[in-house]
Structure 1
């Protein structure tokens, strides 16, 4: 990892500057820092990576417009849903494979090749119309489009001092959420002004641009040449090594059930709003409120949150997330949706930056770091994939039980995180 900033370190024979060690006894370069100081201390490669992640998220349109595109060219909703399911299944495989590929070939190589091949697969979606090739290509596009995520998180962890990783994770999420807010608007404009084929081509160009930026701007990690005395190290880490870390498995279980609950805002919440007779604009306002709070509040609040126990913040955030979603089922007026959105978003803001940083800090060896990060991404993606089916089925047959489920999952996730998360030593 990059060494912490040496700003304020005394030279030989010179007295230490008075602000090197704050009153609480923590050295200045190890104390929690705000986003500006964190970004100043990061190397250029990490800053480029953060911008690249935001740019790539802004240009990711496939999952948003695939169903509309397919139904527009004559396929039934069921057929379009099958292709989208293939895309989601590919995403799960991609995040899982990325952990091993990153450990074997390096994060930079995985990002470059996954984004390069993803651009080809995404462009192919605009040229193919037969259902079987569409299903195959969408699965490949989903896998390649998600392979970069664990690799990018691993690279960010390698470039960031451990004591700055939570704030760097929050900065990465800021870029992702900003891209997620702007991307759909750009995609809608492209689809209305041109066509869905142009949407996919632009998506492909952005992925290609990300690959080119990483190739040209981020240098390869230095590798030691093998000698007779120091032979080349082999990547012997495996996903099965995680099975011995039972506390991390509890963390992964908590992450999976949190994702199952969280995805209900996309799949089941619009049905709840519609069933109660409220306009669709209320659902749009709830989602917009969540996005706005995350974009404008998460970074400054993380400056304070990172001072607390990571175990406590992750557990409390997961609990608030589940309870906030559970509030949507209470039989009150439209204001309950606003209250629920605020509580749910507060839980996301409190827990997400620490969750993003935790696998890299929890990995017992650098060789296992990419597997720990890949396992987190896989569990999240799997929860987001199966959650809509569970939630919509409950909504159809048991009504408000889906929101009781969300609150219950929040409690379970809180207990799992309390038992599973260790407070890492980052000094």
Structure 2
């Protein structure tokens, strides 16, 4: 089976869509399939060009048995909404020479477009038309809905145009996959029939990420006491999560002895968060960069409570990727999600976390105090989290199901 994948992020990104795309490609290549990736130079989540990659030129390399064509792009140091649009367009334009080469050199069974950005599907669609490949749009994030609901772009005509283009590209796809039931419902509302959709959830390597004791965690690296109560937010520091609430919460609870808030990661909101901490003169909030992937289990084991925060407007449009690792580690997650969302439904149904109303500092504080006071009572939630990950999110099982789906769809051609 020959698979051509197009997406703006891939390995060696440590978080988010790029991590999942790279692992998917490596799995398929290891299973003997021919996989080609067209992507950008690494930059995420630091929003800085990865070491060893040219700023203005292209690069071809082999990663885990996958042939990877890397394209230059504009990387804003402060990624505002409009700068992100330019960032995405620059990648689309710089990928043109690669697409011209691929169209005339190789026939693939599938061309797989990783969304967002949603408009990247334009080139895979052209490839489908010219080479009669099957097009799959894999939706990790309903980008246009998020932009609209969070009021990041106010121009109504521009938003309507983006929605129209998105609907056209999804309807022209042979199949549309996504990562949650809520997103499936949203995609059906865009006119995509249920029979054209299939579930391809994000996964976790349960054999690698498993429960780690505090003694074996990274507390020593962060100069934390074993007796400290540690609240961890780890991952991309972006705009959709409403991360300023972490600082507000730390300020509200600054008098609580031994309570530490760890913010581990990088992203567009980091400078603003650091400024807030300085203005409040807080000593209970600590910032650290993303840790090496091999240390992820020990990082997760550092926390008494994990924060999974999203703004109310985005709570059913994205499924937080960080949650998979928290569940696999048997962590106690405090999650903001509205009652009608997939996230709320799943966490509540399996009793694998504490869910509170998004956008409410009072609700978040009450939820955190509940988590901190649970003690041994949290063991049931932790066990449920680990069990859910093993049953539904295991990496080999999820990717194996996806491979079988591709093989089955190919036979139906």
**TM-score, with normalisation over the residues of structure 1?**
0.27
Q: Which has the larger radius of gyration?
A: 1
Higher relative contact order (CA 8 A, sep 6+): 1
Please state which structure has a larger fraction of its residues in helix. 1
